Chain A
Amino acid sequence: MTNSSSSKKHGQDQSELSGPTSKSQRTKMGKSEDNDKKNSGKKLKDVEISVPIVYGNMAFWLGKKASEYQSHKWTVYVRGASNEDLGVIIKRVVFQLHSSFNNPTRVVDAPPFELSEAGWGEFEIAITLHFHSDVCDKPLNLYHHLKLYPEDENSSMSTKKPVVVEFYDEVVFPDPSEAFLARVQNHPAVNFPRLPAGHTLPPPIPVEDANRRRKGDTKDNPLSQWFLSFSEADELLQLAAARQQVQAHIAKVKRQISLIEGQHKQLKSSSDQ
């Protein structure tokens, strides 16, 4: 039953409470709330939880210390988009490096999920996210092309300023378990969904590596000064402006069409004498 009702909705109708809320988003949420109350009051199934992440690499040129085979020192990583601790969702991350590296399969068991190496070549790194057992039993693959050299070939390489390439994405769990929801209920790393009215979650059960020694967030990470910022507000504005333009065009063309149709009618009626 949920299937038929939810298939009529757009993706955005599933309600969510995400970090940076702009005005446009709040009004949209208002609409989606109503739909949700109508449809998902019966099951928890329409609830989706997402984790905004940023993954990529940073590369420092070694300058004078550079050798033929080690010209750059680079770090590939996966971090929370707002630098929050991803360890609450991710159990471990496996970075699969180029076969020319020793032990190309590098496993990082605890946050911050990053891996540093030295080398000279750019290649594709397969990043596999393994989640905690109550989150998801299937891992998720990301692919990142390691970037060492700056885009602009003419710009000089500096040992102080790294080349940074990062991508924003969101890991979506369309059907989260109640245990998962309970455990991450108030965690800042997660876009927690709006639950149906009056729904209570079971008490949270902590997961295995609760006794992590180092803190998992990347807020004070030495590399954090170079992290790029991703704000959806800019993109939303851009999209909204574009949509307005297109809508205006559509209205204009529709007027054109009705005008022409009117002309046709006149011609037809005159010829039908």
Chain B
Amino acid sequence: MDAKDILGLPKNSFPSSADKKPRPPKESQRKPDGISREVYALTGRMPPLMPSIDASQLKKKHPPHEKITWQWLPFTNSARKDDLHLYHWVRVVNGVPPTGDYSFAKYNKSVDIIKYTDEEYEKHLTDPMWTKEETNELFDLCGRFDLRFVVIADRFPSSRTVEELKDRYYSVSQAILIARAASSGDVATHPLIKEPYNVSQEMERKRALSMVLSQTRQQERKDEEVLVEAKRIAELRMASKVTEQPQLVVASNADAEVTERAVPGETISPSNVQPPSMVVPSATDNASTLASLRMLRVYLRTYALDQMVQASNSSAGLRTIKRVEQTLQDLGVNLKPRVPTKAVCAEHLELRREILTWLNLQKQVQYKEAEGSSFRDGSYGETPGTPKDRTFIPDSMNFGDIHKTVVSSERVGKKDQKRKAHGGPPTSAHKRPRKQKASDL
């Protein structure tokens, strides 16, 4: 209620009852055709954009000349090692039962685990960290659980981390493969050899992942800020990198901001042309403009001046720029110097900067004067800054007590209205409401 009051919204007292009556008749009118009401409701009460499949197409049409029966028949599963006979319903066509293996047998896939002999173990696979029993156990589990190391780690008798188990398994497999191969070239393409398991890397990776996962929101935000900062610094550094690699400068767009007079030569495009985009993202830094100019082999003074002027203008809006130019004209200064020597260009730039400063200061004066007038009138809402100060002071007295702050804010509203009526210096009016408040406590 209060919120609506403040926002100035009209209070709709009976919106719901007005809607209820027209709604039910509307709903019953729209009876979906072909699908049930509930399903239609799932699609958001809209017909689908794509024509749905005609339901009649879904029904399989029986080939008329075939005779279909269903029979309860026994079957065997080649995936099983025992000789289990089970029964199930079978679709028999014209008295001929279907042939072939159990249809799900093909899904019984397993991983090929390398099996080593004791001799091989003695020769290649001994390891100070692992006993033979442990290694055997590991390989047995690997076979049983198809290299699902999480399960294997769980079932492993002694407590070993997943990384340790993986490391042992892969290094053993590698050693065996190499030992059994005729030459090292044969197995070089084997995935186990080509990409060996790196324990430390894996542990580090998992640690980093868990860190990222467990980061609090605040940390995330901080990290983002740091990254953005780093990116900016990297860009600045890129911009001020000098002749170390003159040929590899950023891709050349044709310089759109050509002055009437001249543009740097473009026969070898990459280094010499300075795209305006280089200047802008570097936070309109004059230093970066200077740096990018220095990267050119040759340029005209007027071009350099134009770039610097743009850089200093980029921080100002279009209106301000026009005002600067108007001021220059009023002062009798050429917008583009007639004799653009180094000294003249420098002076010109300085003058432009000083004019910008002057204009900004003028704006400041306007703001300050506006502030000042609100102080004097004491009218609520004229400028955002000051009334808050007023209302804040009384509020702080009732800080702990919610009810009282509500009451006091209403009181404050009335206070301000009283002040408006007075219009004069606020001191006397101010004191009376304060006294009321004190009695509240």
Partner of B430, one of A6, A235, A271: A271
Q: Which of A17-75 contact B (CB under 8 A)?
A: 18, 24-25, 28, 45, 50, 52
With A171-B300, A264-B372 known to touch, is A45 a contact of B242 (CB < 8 Å)?
yes
Q: Tell me if A245 and B365 are in contact (CB < 8 A).
A: no
**Further contacts, 12 of them, CB under 8 A, given A18-B342, A174-B297:** A12-B343, A136-B297, A137-B268, A141-B266, A170-B341, A175-B242, A175-B243, A234-B339, A239-B348, A240-B347, A243-B351, A246-B354
Q: Tell me if A245 and B301 are in contact (CB < 8 A).
A: no
Determine the residue in chain A with the shortest Cβ distance to B431.
A273
Q: Which residues of A contact B347 (CB under 8 A)?
A: 236, 239-240, 243
Partner of A263, one of B337, B339, B372: B372
A238 to B328 alpha-carbon distance, docked (Å) = 11
Q: Tell me if A50 and B342 are in contact (CB < 8 A).
A: yes
The residues of A with any CB-CB pair to B shorter than 8 Å are 2-4, 6-8, 10-12, 16, 18, 24-25, 28, 45, 50, 52, 128-129, 131, 136-145, 167-175, 191, 230-232, 234-236, 238-243, 245-247, 249-250, 253-254, 256-257, 260-261, 263-264, 267-268, 270-271, 273
The residues of B with any CB-CB pair to A shorter than 8 Å are 240-243, 260-268, 271-272, 286-288, 290-291, 293-294, 296-302, 304, 308, 327-328, 331-334, 337-351, 354-355, 357-358, 361-362, 364-365, 368-369, 371-372, 375-376, 426-427, 430
With A169-B261, A249-B358 known to touch, is A257 a contact of B364 (CB < 8 Å)?
yes
Q: Which residues of B contact A270 (CB under 8 A)?
A: 427
15 sampled A-B residue pairs with Cβ under 8 A:
A4-B240, A10-B286, A10-B349, A11-B304, A18-B343, A138-B264, A141-B265, A142-B261, A169-B261, A232-B343, A238-B334, A243-B350, A256-B365, A263-B372, A264-B372
Q: Tell me if B341 and A232 are in contact (CB < 8 A).
A: yes
Q: Which residues of A contact B293 (CB under 8 A)?
A: 174
A234 to B286 alpha-carbon distance, docked (Å) = 27
Give the 3 A-B residue pairs with the shortest CB-CB distance, closest first.
A7-B287, A12-B346, A170-B301
Q: Which residues of A contact B345 (CB under 8 A)?
A: 11
Question: Could you tell me the distance in whole angstroms from the C-beta of B332 to the nearest C-beta in chain A?
Answer: 6
Q: Tell me if B375 and A273 are in contact (CB < 8 A).
A: no
Question: Could you tell me the distance in whole angstroms from the C-beta of B306 to the nearest C-beta in chain A?
Answer: 11
Q: Tell me if A268 and B375 are in contact (CB < 8 A).
A: yes
A143 to B267 alpha-carbon distance, docked (Å) = 16
Q: Which residues of A contact B297 (CB under 8 A)?
A: 136-138, 173-175
Q: Which residues of A contact B291 (CB under 8 A)?
A: 3, 7
Q: Tell me if B262 and A239 are in contact (CB < 8 A).
A: no
A167 to B261 alpha-carbon distance, docked (Å) = 9
A41 to B266 alpha-carbon distance, docked (Å) = 33
Q: Tell me if A143 and B260 are in contact (CB < 8 A).
A: yes
Q: Which residues of A contact B260 (CB under 8 A)?
A: 143, 145
Question: Could you tell me the distance in whole angstroms from the C-beta of B376 to the nearest C-beta in chain A?
Answer: 7
Question: Could you tell me the distance in whole angstroms from the C-beta of A131 to the nearest C-beta in chain B?
Answer: 7
Q: Tell me if A260 and B368 are in contact (CB < 8 A).
A: yes
A247 to B331 alpha-carbon distance, docked (Å) = 13
Residue among A52, A139, A171, A234 with most chain B CB within 10 A = A139
Q: Tell me if A231 and B339 are in contact (CB < 8 A).
A: yes
Determine the residue in chain B with the shortest Cβ distance to A173.
B298
With A7-B240, A236-B347 known to touch, is A242 a contact of B333 (CB < 8 Å)?
yes
Q: Which residues of A contact B262 (CB under 8 A)?
A: 140-143, 169
Q: Which residues of B contact A128 (CB under 8 A)?
A: 265
Question: Could you tell me the distance in whole angstroms from the C-beta of A46 to the nearest C-beta in chain B?
Answer: 9
Residue among A128, A137, A253 with most chain B CB within 10 A = A253
Q: Tell me if B338 and A260 are in contact (CB < 8 A).
A: no
A145 to B430 alpha-carbon distance, docked (Å) = 73
With A140-B265, A246-B354, A250-B361 known to touch, is A169 a contact of B302 (CB < 8 Å)?
yes
Question: Could you tell me the distance in whole angstroms from the C-beta of A62 to the nearest C-beta in chain B?
Answer: 28
